[in-house]
A and B are shown apart, each in its own frame.
Chain A
Amino acid sequence: MSFKSPLEGIDEKFEMIQILNEDGEIVNEDAMPDLSDEDLVEIMRRMVYTRVLDQRSIALNRQGRLGFYAPTAGQEASQIGSHFALEKEDFLLPAYRDVPQLIWHGLPLYQAFLFSRGHFHGNQMPEDVNAVSPQIIIGAQITQAAGVALGLKRRGKPNVAITYTGDGGASQGDFYEGINFAGAYQAPAIFVVQNNQFAISVPVEKQSAANTIAQKAAAVGVPGFLVDGMDVFAVYQVVKEARERAVNGDGPTLIETMTYRYGPHTMAGDDPTRYRSEDMNDKWEKRDPLVRFRKFLEGKDLWSEEKENEVIETAKEEIKAAIKKADGHDKQKVTDLISIMYEELPSNLKEQMEEYKEKESK
């Protein structure tokens, strides 16, 4: 005899969850999140603001006024929807593309710009912001999230640790180790994989033989959900429920959001036309998270062009002010870096400091 592969039928278990379709219609009434009109408007405001921030950041980068920047347009529902389901005290461990979540968690814009410029003040979270700065090393934040979550559990906090990675990130050893540890500890962690279909140029199909990233959770005994990442309701609701389970002691959740980045990988010379077709871009742009949510809100008379323009203008002004503030911030010198290496400076660094001070004074 031959045994049946346990993979048979697995796809049905990981069907994509959608609440709001491309046309702005509710297709899953039962799953509708419980959100007030103010909440709905606030979610839209944040998504529009984030889109503007992306456009301005790209422009500022091209003018040489920003350094490292990873475009976010297309991923607003994944980013804003997942973040909106959190509480202020929850702990964020973002990847380099997740600057918007950090900003909505309380990181001042000018600090986000300083981060982009490589100034360490950009990594210095305000006292009331529970977060670490964006991770460059793919996957490293995932095991750390398990630890933050374990700490929250040990201290009896009704909070979660949430971490983000991409479809490529789900191939790192750290990814498996992180979700497995959190599962073993039943720690209150939420792992969001924003599957934007590419890791730089490599399509998600080349990352794994698994049809979904969500199903990888099953291997470590953790629930995994595949969500329409262009649908802010679906993302919000799945994260909300994951959060509830986590604070109730029911352990971590893995969430895969199906999304797309419209722009290049980063602003450092990536050319997406080398690996993506116009057809594919068009297909995904038709699923745009802002377009469908705008339609939904307009149908409820909660949004208008006028309102949107107001948000756009405010965003532009705030961005301008934040860039000015970042420009005015003290430049960092090598001696500043040496001085923050240890609590107490070892003698070799003291010597190097002296050598350098001489140079900087010239």
Chain B
Amino acid sequence: MMDIKMEDQKTQTKTTQSLTMVQAINDALKTMLEQDETTILLGEDIGKNGGVFRATEGLQEQFGEDRVIDTPLSESGIVGTSIGLAVNGFKPVCEMQFMGFIYPAYDQIMTHASRLRMKTMGHYSVPMVIRAPYGAGIRAPEIHSDSMESIFTHMPGVKVVCPATPKDAKGLLIAAIEDPDPVIFMEPMRSYRAQREEVPTEKYQLPIGKGEKIKEGDDVTIITWGAMLSVAKQAAEQAESQGIGCDVLDLKTLYPLDRNLIAESVQKTGRAVIVHEAHQTGGLSQDILSVINDTSFLYLRAPIERVTGFDVPVPFFALEDHYLPTAKRVLSSIEKAVHF
């Protein structure tokens, strides 16, 4: 089911190593720096310090200050220069220290990166990746915990990717770097070190635009991504102990959405629970609702449930636990859908 596309088909003896997500990201960046000299990394504190999360640890040492650049402190500058580099034949991968600090660069993304291909009829394109650690759950201060995917999924011209596991992180990041268009690559920071997984040492890509069914069940479809996947899985296990079978879908790409995956599952179960940690109003759940409405309306046996963050800025420190969807909240929505 995991359709891993091996770059080198001949080497059948694929070796793996046990990595956390942040290590897998480091490995993806290293792989691309090694194999493609147009790959270039930019960001605040990514060089000597290896990034505040250590995602770029050791890379400046190995590849030099010209390819792993500690930039001046300016998000608009980082994204603007990345666009310039991209137009000039490079594949910039820039890091926003936290997704909550991306807003000063919003204009460069919205007004320029997303439109350049279209407005030059393909003469220029922006094969750039913006890496952005997002989400709550690490007891961070104000603005560090934002989860603002929907301001980017609403933006025609960029793709939005969000892995939930180490293996996906590597494969999707490589795919994002090799993608000919701009990609916002959201990294669930609370999953950075939460889990280890065997990750192929080779270069491989996972397809952008494809989600995956993580768990199979007949009664209800749970749709989620990123850090909420583990919450959804927990709730699904609890539901199963009550005899409720759950399809758990990890979307992995938030734009473009894997409409078939959603439709097939909902047509089977007739029920859906969408889980995301972003605010409810204008959240991506509304687009997923439209996909279900467009493709599966007559299959529905219950109203679609949403478990989301509230319409308040993400609260700080311990209060975030009350903001974030929990397995308990997801379970009660599953029950509500099933007992409708």
Name A residues whose Cβ lies closer than 8 Å to a Cβ of B. 67-68, 117-118, 136-139, 168-169, 171-174, 199-202, 206-208, 268-270, 274-275, 332-334, 337-338, 341, 348-349, 352, 356, 359-360
User: 15 new A-B pairs (CB below 8 Å) besides A172-B104, A202-B48?
Assistant: A67-B316, A67-B317, A136-B142, A171-B74, A172-B73, A174-B104, A200-B45, A202-B70, A206-B70, A333-B319, A333-B322, A334-B315, A338-B310, A338-B311, A352-B310
Indicate if the CB atoms of B317 and A202 lie closer than 8 Å.
no
CA distance A137 to B76 in the complex (A): 13
Indicate if the CB atoms of A173 and B319 lie closer than 8 Å.
no
CA distance A341 to B312 in the complex (A): 7
CA distance A352 to B52 in the complex (A): 35
Indicate if the CB atoms of B48 and A171 lie closer than 8 Å.
no
CA distance A275 to B139 in the complex (A): 25
Q: Of B50, B312, B316, B317, which is within 8 A of A338 by CB?
A: B312
Nearest B residue to A96 via CB reads: B141
Chain A residues whose CB sits within 8 angstroms of the CB of B322 once the complex forms = 333-334, 356, 359-360
Q: Is there a chain A Cβ closer than 8 Å to B44's Cβ? A: yes
Q: Is there a chain A Cβ closer than 8 Å to B31's Cβ? A: no
- Classify chain B's interface size: 20 to 34
Q: Contacts A137-B143, A171-B77; is A200 near B44 (CB within 8 Å)?
A: yes
The 3 closest A-B pairs by CB, nearest first: A118-B316, A201-B49, A168-B73
Q: Contacts A200-B44, A202-B70, A334-B323; is A173 near B76 (CB within 8 Å)?
A: yes
Nearest B residue to A207 via CB reads: B72
Chain A residues whose CB sits within 8 angstroms of the CB of B315 once the complex forms = 118, 332, 334, 337
CA distance A337 to B322 in the complex (A): 11
CA distance A168 to B140 in the complex (A): 21
Nearest A residue to B326 via CB reads: A359
Q: Contacts A118-B315, A173-B76; is A275 near B48 (CB within 8 Å)?
A: yes
Indicate if the CB atoms of A348 and B311 lie closer than 8 Å.
yes
Indicate if the CB atoms of B44 and A202 lie closer than 8 Å.
yes
Indicate if the CB atoms of A173 and B104 lie closer than 8 Å.
yes
Chain A residues whose CB sits within 8 angstroms of the CB of B70 once the complex forms = 201-202, 206
Name B residues whose Cβ lies closer than 8 Å to a Cβ of A. 44-45, 47-50, 52, 70, 72-74, 76-77, 101, 103-104, 139-144, 280-281, 310-313, 315-317, 319, 322-323
Chain A residues whose CB sits within 8 angstroms of the CB of B52 once the complex forms = 200, 269-270
CA distance A337 to B139 in the complex (A): 17
Max count, chain A CB within 10 A of own CB: residue among B70, B74, B311, B323: B74
CA distance A67 to B323 in the complex (A): 18
CA distance A274 to B311 in the complex (A): 40
CA distance A352 to B73 in the complex (A): 38
Nearest A residue to B313 via CB reads: A337
Indicate if the CB atoms of A207 and B73 lie closer than 8 Å.
yes
Chain A residues whose CB sits within 8 angstroms of the CB of B44 once the complex forms = 168, 199-200, 202
Q: Of B76, B310, B317, which is within 8 A of A118 by CB?
A: B317
Nearest B residue to A275 via CB reads: B48
Max count, chain A CB within 10 A of own CB: residue among B45, B139, B143: B45
Interchain Cβ contacts under 8 Å between A and B, 5 examples:
A136-B143, A201-B49, A202-B44, A274-B50, A275-B49
Separation in Å of the A96 CB from the closest CB of chain B?
8
CA distance A174 to B315 in the complex (A): 26
Chain B residues whose CB sits within 8 angstroms of the CB of A171 once the complex forms = 72-74, 77
Nearest B residue to A208 via CB reads: B72
Separation in Å of the A177 CB from the closest CB of chain B?
11
Indicate if the CB atoms of A172 and B74 lie closer than 8 Å.
yes
Nearest A residue to B103 via CB reads: A137
Chain B residues whose CB sits within 8 angstroms of the CB of A268 once the complex forms = 140
Chain B residues whose CB sits within 8 angstroms of the CB of A269 once the complex forms = 52
Q: Contacts A171-B72, A173-B76; is A349 near B311 (CB within 8 Å)?
A: yes
Separation in Å of the B67 CB from the closest CB of chain A?
15
Nearest A residue to B140 via CB reads: A268
Q: Contacts A118-B141, A199-B73, A334-B319; is A274 near B104 (CB within 8 Å)?
A: no
Indicate if the CB atoms of A202 and B280 lie closer than 8 Å.
no
Chain B residues whose CB sits within 8 angstroms of the CB of A332 once the complex forms = 315, 319
Nearest A residue to B73 via CB reads: A168
Chain B residues whose CB sits within 8 angstroms of the CB of A118 once the complex forms = 141-142, 315-317, 319
Indicate if the CB atoms of B312 and A337 lie closer than 8 Å.
yes
